[in-house]
């Protein structure tokens, strides 16, 4: 199976790049299932139902999020109704939405997608991400209940991301990091057969600070005094992500390679 994952869409330029490019990327790479992280899609902060729907219409099968999931308060009203919308599974109890979902490809293969958040350098109040993964994986063994499993591990620290990858190695098809908005070059199939990448990077303008117009973040570093609002940068976005190819009999990865297209970053297409 061929599964595409795209990193955090940031603002209008990130959304439009994904809307415009995803159908062609799906064709060119013969993608069976596509997942997009949408946590920064609404002006950099959260997502609306309209954006969620437009992302599905563009060819995403599942939209994941992260720490910004509830920035737009309307999400609280609809998150539980949309079974292709994920918030971090280890968010403490009682919040709307779900942390994992089962979807099917057009030809009926079953894919479990999970969204889990790290706690190092961010949100220590969240539940244990390793325990959350254990619970999700125990309920859906690959090659039995599901044909593939993708985990969007939304975290700051590469140490936590790598350890999470090793923890689920052999039990998931792909662990892909999100949140830092900067793509890493460590894509690999781990020893147990799980595809891994510490961070997919963002779908956003890289003439920026993490997708936001660079003037205000730079001002805050220089003066420690906020001057204005953080606004998404508006130059052409680079669509950043990763393609994993899995063995349908085991669910494990046979290859994992990055994708970067458009905007300022050098173009990279998977060769698998
Ligand atoms: Fe993000
Ligand atoms: Fe984030």
Q: What is the rounded distance in angstroms from the CA atom of residue 255 to the CA atom of residue 76?
A: 37
Distance from residue 140's CA to the centre of ligand 2 (Å): 26
DSSP annotation string for 101-142 = EEEE-TT--EEEEEEEE--TTS-TTSPPHHHHHHHHHHTS-B
Q: Determine, yes or no, domain membership for 220.
A: no
Backbone angles phi, psi at 174, to 5 degrees: -150, 130
Which numbered ligand comes closest to the C-alpha of 67? Answer: 2
pLDDT value for 125: 95
pLDDT digits (tens, 9 = 90+) for 20-30: 999 999 999 99
Q: Given a cut of 90, is residue 143 above it in pLDDT? A: no
pLDDT value for 248: 95
Q: Determine, yes or no, domain membership for 65.
A: yes
Q: Determine, yes or no, domain membership for 227.
A: no
Q: What is the rounded distance in angstroms from the CA atom of residue 48 to the CA atom of residue 77?
A: 11
pLDDT value for 272: 98
Q: How many domains does the chain have?
A: 1
Question: What mean pLDDT do residues 154-166 have?
Answer: 98
Which numbered ligand comes closest to the C-alpha of 68? Answer: 2
Distance from residue 59's CA to the centre of ligand 2 (Å): 22
Q: Given a cut of 90, is residue 188 above it in pLDDT? A: yes
Q: What is the CATH number of the domain that holds 58?
A: 3.60.21.10
pLDDT digits (tens, 9 = 90+) for 70-117: 999 999 999 999 999 999 999 998 899 999 999 999 999 999 999 999
Distance from residue 248's CA to the centre of ligand 1 (Å): 31
Question: What mean pLDDT do residues 183-203 have?
Answer: 98
Q: Determine, yes or no, domain membership for 232.
A: no
Residue 68 designated active-site: yes
pLDDT digits (tens, 9 = 90+) for 200-212: 999 999 999 999 9
pTM (predicted TM-score): 0.98
Distance from residue 181's CA to the centre of ligand 2 (Å): 8
pLDDT value for 153: 99
pLDDT value for 93: 86
Q: Determine, yes or no, domain membership for 214.
A: no
Q: Determine, yes or no, domain membership for 154.
A: yes
Q: Which residue out of 68, 123, 179, 181 is catalytically annotated?
A: 68
Distance from residue 18's CA to the centre of ligand 1 (Å): 15
Q: Determine, yes or no, domain membership for 225.
A: no
Question: What mean pLDDT do residues 171-199 have?
Answer: 98
Q: Given a cut of 90, is residue 144 above it in pLDDT? A: no
The pLDDT-based confidence of 16 (bands split at 50, 70, 90) is very high
| Burial degree of 125 (CB within 10 A; 0-12, 13-18, 19+) | exposed
Residue-number span of the structural domain to which 250 is assigned: 2-206+238-261
Which numbered ligand comes closest to the C-alpha of 123? Answer: 2
């Amino acid at each position: 199976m061929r599964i595409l994952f795209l990193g955090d869409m940031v603002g209008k330029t990130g959304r439009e790049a994904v809307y415009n490019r995803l159908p062609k990327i799906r064709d060119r790479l013969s993608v069976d299932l596509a997942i997009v992280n949408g946590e920064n899609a609404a002006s950099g902060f959260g997502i609306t139902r309209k954006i969620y729907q437009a992302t599905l219409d563009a060819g995403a099968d599942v939209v994941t999020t992260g720490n910004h999931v509830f920035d737009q308060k309307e999400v609280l009203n609809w998150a539980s109704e949309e079974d292709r919308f994920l918030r971090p599974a280890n968010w403490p109890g009682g919040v709307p939405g779900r942390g994992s979902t089962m979807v099917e490809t057009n030809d009926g293969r079953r894919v479990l997608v999970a969204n889990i958040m790290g706690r190092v350098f961010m949100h220590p109040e969240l539940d244990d991400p390793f325990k959350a993964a254990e619970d999700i994986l125990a309920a859906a063994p690959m090659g039995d209940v599901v044909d593939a499993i993708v985990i969007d591990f939304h975290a700051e620290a590469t140490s936590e991301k790598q350890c999470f990858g090793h923890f689920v190695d052999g039990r998931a098809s792909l662990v892909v990091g999100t949140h830092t908005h900067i793509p890493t070059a460590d894509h690999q199939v781990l020893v147990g057969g799980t595809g891994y990448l510490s961070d997919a990077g963002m779908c956003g303008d890289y003439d920026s600070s993490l997708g936001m117009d660079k003037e205000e973040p730079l001002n805050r570093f220089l003066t420690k005094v906020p001057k204005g609002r953080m606004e998404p940068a508006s130059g052409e976005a680079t669509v950043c992500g990763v393609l994993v190819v899995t063995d349908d009999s085991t669910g494990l990865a046979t290859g994992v390679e990055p994708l970067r297209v458009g905007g300022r970053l050098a173009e990279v297409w998977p060769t698998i």
